Structure 1
Amino acid sequence: MPVDLNRLADGWLELESDPGLFTLLLEDFGVKGVQVDEIYDLQKSIEGPVYGFIFLFKWIEERRSRRKVVVQEEKFVEKEEIVNSIFFAHQIVPNSCATHSLLSILLNCSKIYLGSTLTRLKEYTKNMDPESKGYAIGNTPELARAHNTHAKPEPRQPQEKPHGVPMGRTMEAFHFVSYVPIDGRLYELDGLKPFPIDHGPWQSGQDWTDKFRMVITERLGGGDIRFNLMAVVPDRRQAYEQKLRTLKTNRGIVLEALQQMVRDQPALDGHNYAKSPLMEAHSPAPSSGSSSTDTASEAGSAFNSPVRASPPGASPPPQPAALSPQQPQPQLQSQPQPQPQPQPQPQPQPQPQQPQQQSSGATSSGEIDRLVVVRLGEEHPFAPHDLLALLKTVEAEINACESALKDEVDKRRKYVVDDCRRTHNYDQFICTFLSMLAEQGKLADLVEQQLQPKRRLLPKQPDRKRRPKPKRRR
C-alpha cells in the first residue's frame, strides 16, 4: 500500500460521537450487516447479540492533568504472543481514534462480513506488533478517505494539543475506547495505551455484556466523567426482514388450512353428521368435531372463499406440514351405517374393492360424507376458531414487524440527511450571500446597525394603583 504517510496523517479530521455517523462509516468501510446504536441506560438489557462497545469519554484539561497523578492498577497483557494475536493497534495518526475503536471491534470478531478493504488489512497485519498495525491503519487510503467523508469541514491550522487526542474549542479532550470479548475474556483496547487491558472472564451462565456493565459502572463511579456509549450490533433491518418472511410463510400455511376446511365443509352442511359416532371416534379432541361444523362457515366468510362441494373423484389437497403430523388413513368399516334421509344425487357406480379411498368412488352420498368427516378431523387437529385466533396473532405480529422495519428504514434515511448537513461546506453560500447584499447596498447598513450600541430596554413593570395616603389627625 504505497501511500505518503505524512500526507494522510495531516489530513485525518475529528469525528463526532454519533451512532448514525458510525453506521454510515461502517458502510463506507465495506462492512455489511452491522450497525451502531447508542446506549442510554446501562441497566437495560440489549436485545440480540452485541459485537462490542465503544466508550467515548471526555474531561476538561485540568481534570485530565489531575487524573494523571492518580495511580491506577491496570492489568496489561504484555505477553507478545497474546498481544500480536489480538488486533490491537497503537494510534499513530491524530484524530483517528474513532476509526481505531471500530476496527478494534470488527477485526476481532469472526461473525462479521468485513468486505475487501478490511479483510486485506486483517490478513496483512496478522501477527504484527501494535505499532506496526497502527502504521498500517494510517497508511490505508481507503480508511482515511472514508473517515474524512463524515467529518465537519474545518480550517486546517496547526494546533497544540496532545498527540492522538481530539480537542475542541472548550479545551475538552475526547477519546474512544473499545470493549471486546475475546476467547472468553473481556478486553479494553485503547490505542493510546501500550498494551490491551484484560478485565478477566465472565462467570458461567453470564453474558459478557453483564461483565462489561460491571466494569464500566465501576469506572464511571470513580470520577466525574461525561461519556457516551455505543454498541456495535447486527443490522436490525435484516433481522426484521427475515422475521417478516417467516411470519408471512406461517400466515400462508394457516390460510391454506382454513381454506381446505371451507372446501370440505359443504358436505357437512347438507347432512347431520356433526354429532355422528364416526366423527366422535376419529376426532383428535373431544370438542373438535362440534366446533368444526359450527364455525367453518364463519371461516369461509372471513376469507371470502366460495363454498363448493368436492367432487367424488377428487383427492384432498396435501396437508400443511407445520400444522399437523402425518397420520395413516384409517380403515373404514365395510358395513355402511344407515344414514338419515340421504339427498338423491347422481353418483357413480360403487366400487367395493377399496372403500377406504375416496378416489375409487363410493356406494352412496353418505359414505362420501363420512370420508370427508374423517379426513377433516385427521388433517386439521386445530378447530377453526383456533386457526382464526392463530391467524389473528400472526397478523398482529406481521403489522408490528412491518412497523419496526419502517422505523429502521426511516432512521437510516435520517442518518444520511444529518450526515449531509454535517459535512456540507456552507462557506460558498455565505460568501455569495454577503456579496449580493453588498451589491444591493444593504451590507453596510446591516454592519452599522450591529456595531451601534443597543439601548438596554428595561422590562415594563405592571401598573400599581396608588393607595391614598391616610389623613393625619390633628
Structure 2
Amino acid sequence: MAESGGWHTIESDAGVFTYLIENLGVRDVQFEELLALEPEYLKQLSPVYGVIFLFKYQMGQNRSEAPIDGHLDTDAPNHMFFANQTIQNACATQAILSVLFNVEGKQIDIGQALEEFKEFTDGFPSDLRGEALSNSDLIRDVHNSFSRSSPFVDEGTRKATEEDDLYHFIAYTPVHGVLYEIDGLQPAPISHGPCTKDEFCDKVIPVIQRRVERYPPGEIRFNLMAVIRDPRITAKSIGDEEMLAREEQKRKDWARENELRRHNFVGFTYELLKGVVKQKVQDGTYDDWIKQTKADNLKKAMAAKKGESED
C-alpha cells in the first residue's frame, strides 16, 4: 500500500459518511451507527444495503494466509466491485463505495459521476480498480473535504509504523446471493456463505461478533455503521411527523458538525489566551493566577497517581 498521496484521514461518523456520499451525488442513502450487535436491532433500520466496520488493524498479519473466518473467493463475479487498497487513508471511502457499487438492481441512485466511474472500471482487475479509485480527483477531493482541519503536519503524510494504532474500514454486503466481506487489503473478496438481502441482518451480525471475539478482552475500539435508506422517506410515506422532525434535526446537527470540522481553532485559542494573560497583567493578578494553576495541576497529578497505586 502506497503512502497517502493527498488522501487524509476522516472520522468514522454517520454524519460525515452521509454527507460525503451526498456530495458525490448519491441520493436517499444514510448511515446509522449501530450501538448493539443484535440482528433485530439492525432489522429495525431496513432496508439495509450493507455495513461498514472499523477496527484496530493488527500489524504483522500475513495477507497471503487464508482468512480465519470465511474463504477468499477468487472466482467472485468480475462485475462485482472489488478494489485493492493501493493508498493509505482511502479505506473509509473505499469501504463505502464497496457497498454502494454492489447494491443490485435500481435500489439506490448513486448519481452520474459514480455511475460513470463504476462503468469505466467494470472489468478492471482489482489492483487497477484500486489505482483508478485512488487517482480519482472527484472522490479524493470530496473525501478530503471531510477531514479535520489542522495547522500541524498530517499524520497521513508519513508511513505508518508498528508503534502506531492503525484502524481499518471494511464492508459487509450481500452480492448475488452471497455474504461478502470486502477488504481492500485482501487479494479477493471473502465469502461467508449464501445470503439473500432478506437474510443479511441475521447472517452478518454473527460474522462480526466472531471477529470482535478474536481481540483481547476489554478491547472496545470498534465502530459499526449500517448503510440504509434515508429514514425521512419512510417517515413521509407513513405520515410520521415526529420521526420526520427528528431526522431533519439530525441532519441539521450533522451539517453544523461537518462545518466545524472544516476549521481549526488553534489561532482563536491563542488569541483568547493572549487576551486572558493581558487582562491578568493589567489587573496585577498574573503571578497569583500562575501559582494557583500550578497548585491545581499538582493536586490533580497527585490524585491521579494515588488512584493508580490503589488499582
Shorter-chain TM range is 0.7 to 0.9
Q: One-letter code of the match for 1:57?
A: F
Which of 50, 54, 60 pairs up with 2:48? 50
Percent sequence identity over matched residues? 32
Q: Distance in 2 between matches of 1:457 and 1:426?
A: 29
Task: Establish whether residue 426 from structure 1 lines up as the match of residue 276 from structure 2.
Answer: no
Which residue number corresponds to residue 90 of structure 1? 84
Deviations 1:376-429 (A, max 9, x none): xxxxxxxxxxxxxxxxxxxxxxxxx11111101111111111222233221332
Task: Establish whether residue 215 from structure 1 lines up as the match of residue 207 from structure 2.
Answer: yes
> Which ranges in structure 2 are unaligned for 5 or more consecutive residues?
303-311
Change (3 A) 1:453 1:37: closer
Report the 3-state secondary structure (helix = DSSP H, G, I; strand = E; otherwise coil) of the residue aligned with 2:5. Answer: helix
Shift of 1:159: 3.0
Report the 3-state secondary structure (helix = DSSP H, G, I; strand = E; otherwise coil) of the residue aligned with 1:198. Answer: strand
1:77/1:83 contact within 8 Å kept: no
Change (3 A) 1:149 1:129: same
Which residue number corresponds to residue 290 of structure 2? 449
Deviations 1:65-90 (A, max 9, x none): 476699744511123xx353211111
Q: Distance in 2 between matches of 1:447 and 1:85?
A: 71
Report the 3-state secondary structure (helix = DSSP H, G, I; strand = E; otherwise coil) of the residue aligned with 1:233. Answer: strand
Change (3 A) 1:124 1:435: same
Q: One-letter code of the match for 2:153?
A: R
Task: Establish whether residue 100 from structure 1 lines up as the match of residue 98 from structure 2.
Answer: no
Shift of 1:40: 1.3
Q: Distance in 1 between matches of 2:244 and 2:77?
A: 41
Task: Establish whether residue 182 from structure 1 lines up as the match of residue 175 from structure 2.
Answer: yes
Deviations 1:180-231 (A, max 9, x none): 101100011001111111111038x961221112212222223335311110
Which residue number corresponds to residue 15 of structure 1? 10
2:81/2:98 contact within 8 Å kept: yes
Which residue number corresponds to residue 33 of structure 1? 28
Name whichever structure is richer in strand by fraction: 2
Which residue number corresponds to residue 370 of structure 1? none
Which residue number corresponds to residue 128 of structure 1? 124
Deviations 1:117-165 (A, max 9, x none): 1111111101111111111111111111111111112323543305xxx
Count residues with an aligned counterpart. Answer: 284
Task: Establish whether residue 402 from structure 1 lines up as the match of residue 241 from structure 2.
Answer: yes
Q: Of the two structures, which has the highest relative contact order with CA contacts closer than 8 Å and spacing of 6 or more?
A: 2
Instruction: Give the stretch that moved more between structures: 425-434 or 133-142.
Output: 425-434
Q: Distance in 2 between matches of 1:72 and 1:191?
A: 14
Q: Distance in 2 between matches of 1:238 and 1:150?
A: 25
Correspondence 1:300-449 to 2 at 5 A: 401-434=240-273, 436=275, 442=281, 445=286, 449=290
Q: Distance in 2 between matches of 1:422 and 1:446?
A: 36
Q: One-letter code of the match for 1:181?
A: P
Report the 3-state secondary structure (helix = DSSP H, G, I; strand = E; otherwise coil) of the residue aligned with 1:57. Answer: strand
Which residue number corresponds to residue 462 of structure 1? none
Q: Distance in 1 between matches of 2:119 and 2:60?
A: 41
Q: Distance in 1 between matches of 2:232 and 2:164?
A: 39
> Which ranges in structure 1 are unaligned for 5 or more consecutive residues?
1-5, 245-400, 460-474
Runs of 4+ in 1 over 6 A off after TM superposition: 438-441
Correspondence 1:205-354 to 2 at 5 A: 207-224=199-216, 225-226=219-220, 227-244=222-239
Shift of 1:450: 6.7
Q: Distance in 1 between matches of 2:18 and 2:278?
A: 44
Structure with the greater alpha carbon radius of gyration = 1
Q: Distance in 1 between matches of 2:13 and 2:95?
A: 13
Q: Distance in 1 between matches of 2:270 and 2:294?
A: 26
Correspondence 1:458-473 to 2 at 5 A: none
Change (3 A) 1:125 1:436: same
Which residue number corresponds to residue 307 of structure 2? none
Which residue number corresponds to residue 309 of structure 2? none
Change (3 A) 1:108 1:435: same
Change (3 A) 1:66 1:106: closer
Q: Distance in 1 between matches of 2:287 and 2:92?
A: 42
Q: Distance in 2 between matches of 1:200 and 1:41?
A: 23
Which residue number corresponds to residue 138 of structure 2? 142
Deviations 1:438-458 (A, max 9, x none): 776849947982798538669
Report the 3-state secondary structure (helix = DSSP H, G, I; strand = E; otherwise coil) of the residue aligned with 1:93. Answer: coil
Root mean square deviation of aligned Cα: 3.3
1:19/1:36 contact within 8 Å kept: yes
Change (3 A) 1:142 1:206: closer
Shift of 1:93: 2.1
